[in-house]
Amino acid sequence: MPEWWTYTLSDFLLFSPRTYYRLIERHNEATWPWQIVTLGLGLGVAALLRRQAPWQGRAVSAILAVLWTWVAWAFVWQRYATINWAASYFFWLFAIEVLLLVWIGVVRGGMSFRGRRDAAATLGIALFILALALYPMLAPLLGRGWWQAEIFGVVPDPTVVATLGLLLLTEGPPRWGLLAAPLLWCLVSGATLWAMGSPEAWVLLPAALLVLGSSAARGRPEP
Amino acid sequence: MIGAVAAGAAAAMLRPLSTLAESAPITRRIPSSGEQLPVIGLGTWITFNVGDDTELRDECAAVMRAFFRDGGGIIDSSPMYGSSQPVIGYGLRKLGRPSGLFSADKVWTSSGSRGPDQIEQSRAYWGVRRFDLLQVHNLQAWEEHLPTLLAMKAEGGVRYVGITTSEGRRHEELEKIMASRPIDFVQVTYNVLDREVEDRILPLARDRGIAVIINRPFRQGALIREVEHHPLPSWASEFGAGNWAQVLLKFIVSHPAVTCAIPATSKVTHMVENMGAATGALPDAGLRRRMVAHVEGL
């Protein structure tokens, strides 16, 4: 890109905030009452975290893979792509994460949650609760109404934040392979929200930074 | 039928001259053809990228209706603008394909060989028989696209050919193209604060007989937001500007080298304000200097 230093974030913004949030509103209307199911699955994940069953990690990974697939197909590909030509690239980012969740978490059983109590785990729990319980409240709190609420498992941002939280809760070294796509999404979506002047940027970008720093501090590279 | 035409002509003749002057938008001549173009056009960056949202598409169509009702002509878009092209097509279908349309689009791909397919896709989105103007977007792969566009023009596939840039980027390269290639239009950024093109690009356009389209007249709305908190200067009434949008647009289109400006909006009220800049008087050189000093001082 010639003269790249002359570009600002707003130069890359393709749509208005009103168009973006109406997109979420229409998606919520079209998928209702799927929101109840996805929030139920989120609570199911929370229940699994408390239960030390041998298949716990596989079940959590499978739920995440299903929700990432649904978000990628129903929102990113079918809806977001109508106002953002880059969404087709984001779709493949989500697809890669699904494949990694299936391969590492479901097939190899490489994810387990044993109730760690360190700082990273505390941050993970906080992010998971934020994604499930607080994220849907942001739209009404910011005056946009309930139909524009961003729900875990329905739209990308809370789904990604919840995934980051869960990845911080896993045993062993940081899962950099699984962290890459959610962190990249936080950067892309956070920059978009920032350019739109949306306060949610203050959730997504700091969350990504905290996860990055926390994972780096957690220790050794993945074997 | 003949009677009706005669009656219409008689009614037009009876209308006060001042009314005619107020209702007819100011036009500028396209140097390469002599065709007249209204000085205020319609840009579609961001504002028309509303996807398949019917409510927002209808709002865009309402903006287009106000635009054509007030004598607007040129609508400008690009494959880069998301769903703007199909949204324009939706509006044109809804309005019954207004005869005043001057369709301006761009080719935006790094591959010269993909240009024709992209242009055909854009044409299908708009639902027009052919584009009036095709431009190379932001000089991207212009060495490959320009020969294609010029060949299309020679075959009657497009009426005019141009090249675009924005926010002052790659002006040196743009100058070289303007000086050496037979283009009809150039599109650049120009407004009361961003006046870099006054030095070389606009004089060159006049010398070479190239029409000039001005993008980002309001700095993507930021300029309007900056000035609207300040009272409208008293001298604005000297050239019939009733609001800040008209002040800013009249500054642009009063430059003798400028053919038209293409502000983007999704609101009918703003469209009507913008079109008001195409009527009445335009500021002279003295007033233009005063406008610059005033806005820079805010």
| Whole-complex ipTM | 0.91
Q: A85 in contact with B at a CB cutoff of 8 Å?
A: yes
Q: A14 in contact with B at a CB cutoff of 8 Å?
A: yes
Q: How far is B266 from chain A (nearest CA, A)?
A: 10
The lowest-confidence range among A4-13, A170-179, B139-148, B160-169 is A4-13
DSSP state letter for B231: P
Domain membership of residue B174 as a residue range: 34-297
- Locate all alpha helices (DSSP H) within chain B, ordered by sequence: 2-14, 17-23, 54-69, 84-94, 115-126, 142-154, 171-180, 201-208, 222-227, 244-253, 268-276, 285-297
- Structural domain contains residue B20: no
Mean of the per-residue pLDDT values for chain A? 93
Q: A87 in contact with B at a CB cutoff of 8 Å?
A: no
Mean of the per-residue pLDDT values for chain B? 92
Residues of A in contact with B169 (CB under 8 A): 2-3, 6
DSSP state letter for B292: H
Q: What whole-number distance in Å separates Cα of residue A216 and Cα of residue A161?
A: 17
Query: Per residue, what are the HEC states of A49-109?
Result: HHCCCCCHHHHHHHHHHHHHHHHHHHHHHCCHHHCCCCHHHHHHHHHHHHHHHHHHHHHCC
DSSP state letter for A222: P
Q: Do A19 and B53 touch (CB under 8 A)?
A: yes
Burial environment of residue A145 by CB neighbours within 10 A (0 to 12, 13 to 18, 19 or more): exposed
Number of domains in chain B: 1
Structure confidence at residue B12 (pLDDT): 37
For B120, list phi and psi in degrees, rounded to 5: -65, -40
Structure confidence at residue A208 (pLDDT): 96
Three-state DSSP at B162 gives: strand
Structure confidence at residue A101 (pLDDT): 98
Angle at A42 between CA A62 and CA A110, to 5 degrees: 35
- Structural domain contains residue B139: yes
Query: What tens digit of pLDDT does each residue of B210-231 get?
Result: 999 999 999 988 899 999 999 9
Residue linked to tokens 């729900």: A151
B148, pLDDT greater than 50: yes
**Omega within 30 of 0 (cis) for the link into A173:** no
Tokens encoding A42: 């989120």
Nearest-CB residue to A19 (from B50, B81, B220): B50
- Structural domain contains residue B2: no
B9, pLDDT greater than 50: no
Categorize the per-residue pLDDT at A162 as very low, low, confident or very high, splitting at 50, 70 and 90: very high
Nearest-CB residue to B82 (from A6, A15, A26): A15
Residue linked to tokens 């299309």: B152
- Structural domain contains residue B126: yes
Q: Which CATH number fits the domain that encloses residue B252?
A: 3.20.20.100
